[in-house]
Amino acid sequence: MLLIKIGGGKDINLKGIISDLAALQEAFLIVHGANALRDQLAEALGLPRKTLTSVSGYSSVYSDEAALDLLLMAYAGLKNKRIVELCQQHGINAVGLSGVDGRVIQGRRNRGIRVRQNGRLRIVRDFSGKPQSVNRELLQWLLDHGYTPVLTVPIIDEHQTAVNSENDDIVVQLHKAFQPRMIIQLIEAPGLLADHQDPRSWVEHLSPTQLEGWEARVTGRMKRKLLALRRLFEQGARTVIISDGRGPHPIKDALKGKGTVIR
């Protein structure tokens, strides 16, 4: 089984990805983002994205109630259903679910982030959380009956509230439940970049033990992505391929090892 994570960048070639997936014999699960669409909708609605950086250097999206409504529109609504539609057009009987539907992705509300504002240390809370488990029974039933789950945020927390979460952490939980033979992450870059401003600096191979060193070198969201990758391998992941989602055949390329292969 494969676990496919599709990034939410604006140049991701969804048609190419879905048509490649339609040719596979193997079962797969899709998790997708929609950050470019979310930002586009936010601008149209006059709701600018708010981000926070914790005192220890991790940056996060601040999800208030309006931001969560926007997330439902962009991720669970428009993007999810468009991907499902594309799947149907390519003969994949997809079922689009947010983590709230059928409690597919369950998590715990974040206890807050420490930020420094005007020289003062504060804890800020919002509608965000960490996935802790998945409804494996429901997902397995869908897979066993020929359906392909297409998953996205929000997830559901311990108060039965929809909360934003990080797709990389959702992938960690899905990996724990299904132990796929390979995880393919499609992004808007040729792979992991040694220098984030230089697309030619992508790294072809990494060992799981090298991830920690990389984590110390990067900042912002990349730091969190690497931490999630490290967790995948701590849990026994075999292969993760981070590949370019913009080409004509992103899945075929990834399966050929084009991108950053971590194993």
Partner 1 sequence: MLTGLCPLCDARIQLEADVLPGELVECPECAMELEVVSTHPIRLAEAPQEEEDWGE
* Contact footprint for partner 1 (CB under 8 A): 54, 56, 58, 60-63, 110-114, 120-126, 128-130, 153, 164-167, 169, 224, 227-228
Contacts of 106 (CB under 8 A, 6+ apart): 99, 131, 132, 133, 134, 135, 155, 156, 157
Cβ 65 to partner 1 shortest distance, Å: 15
Cβ closest to partner 1, residue 95 vs residue 218: 218
Cβ closest to partner 1, residue 2 vs residue 37: 37
Cβ 59 to partner 1 shortest distance, Å: 9
On whether the CB atoms of residues 98 and 154 are closer than 8 A, the answer is: yes
* Phi-psi label, residue 232: left if phi above 0, alpha if psi -120 to 50, beta otherwise: alpha
Cβ 114 to partner 1 shortest distance, Å: 7
Cβ 248 to partner 1 shortest distance, Å: 30
Cβ closest to partner 1, residue 18 vs residue 155: 155
What ranges in 100-180 are assigned the alpha helix state H?
Answer: 136-144, 167-178
Cβ closest to partner 1, residue 120 vs residue 145: 120
Cβ 126 to partner 1 shortest distance, Å: 7
What ranges in the chain are assigned the alpha helix state H?
Answer: 14-22, 35-45, 65-71, 80-89, 136-144, 167-178, 211-217, 220-234, 250-255
DSSP, collapsed to helix, strand or coil, labels residue 262 as strand
Cβ closest to partner 1, residue 52 vs residue 138: 52
